[in-house]
Amino acid sequence: MNQLLATVPEDKPIPLATRDRLYELAWGVYYSGETAKDHVAPIISFMRRHVQNGAPPFGMIRLRLKRMCEVLSKIYRDDERVKNDFPYCADSTPLESYPEGAFAVSPAKSR
């Protein structure tokens, strides 16, 4: 995981193909069992970054890694720790949470 993370500058979002491979590797760490806790450093580094995500018809947008919240929670067996370390894991937005202001159109208000 560290090698893949090192291929993308920290100020750039991780491209889709790299993101997907890192997702797979993170789940692989979880499935390694009790030793997973010894190998969370790259998952934490991954979760501190942004990733590319397709948002048709807008193209690519930059998002947080909300999908990794579950993996880290399962490894630690402590949902609260993950929510404290990564506040975006505690919010109520869906997995693909778009940053505020990502879209030019504001939602219609109900009357």
Residue 97 pLDDT > 60 = no
pTM confidence score = 0.77
Handedness of CA 90, 93, 31, 4 (dihedral sign): negative
The pLDDT of residue 24 is 94
Q: What is the DSSP letter of 14?
A: B
pLDDT at 91: 82
DSSP state of 51: E
Distances (CA, A) of 62 to 32, 34, 110: 30, 33, 29
Cis upstream peptide for 57 (omega within 30°): yes
Least confident stretch, 16-20, 29-33, 60-64: 60-64
pLDDT of 46 reads 93
* pLDDT of 52 higher than 70: yes
- Helix and strand numbers (H, E) in the chain are 5, 2
Number of residues in the chain: 111
Q: Is the pLDDT of residue 105 over 90?
A: no
Q: Please state, in angstroms and rounded to a whole number, the distance separating the CA atoms of residues 83 and 106.
A: 28
